Amino acid sequence: MARITPYRDGPLLVRGPFTLTDQDGNDIPVGRETIALCRCGKSRIRPFCDGTHQVVRFKAPSGLEQRGR
């Protein structure tokens, strides 16, 4: 089972067996069991994190997002 951990003001770290797919459902080969996914939207290697969040001083909202019911 995969575990996804959001890092404060940084990427989503995905650990464990998982399959990453693009918007058309095609598998994206990753070749490893741990990856960092971009949350700031500025990475040059999206969907993967390249550390740009530090340069742009990305700030992620804290806590769980409340959804309307």
Tens place of pLDDT per residue across the chain (69 aa) = 999 999 999 999 999 999 999 999 999 999 999 999 999 999 999 999 999 999 999 999 876 666 665
* DSSP output for 14-58: EESS---B-TTS-B----SSEEEE-SSS--TTTTB--SHHHHTT-
Long-range contacts of 38-47 (CB under 8 A, 24+ apart): 38/11, 39/6, 39/10, 39/11, 39/12, 47/20
Q: What is the pTM of this model?
A: 0.81
Euclidean distance between CA atoms 39 and 48, whole angstroms = 9
For tokens 């001083």, name the residue: 57
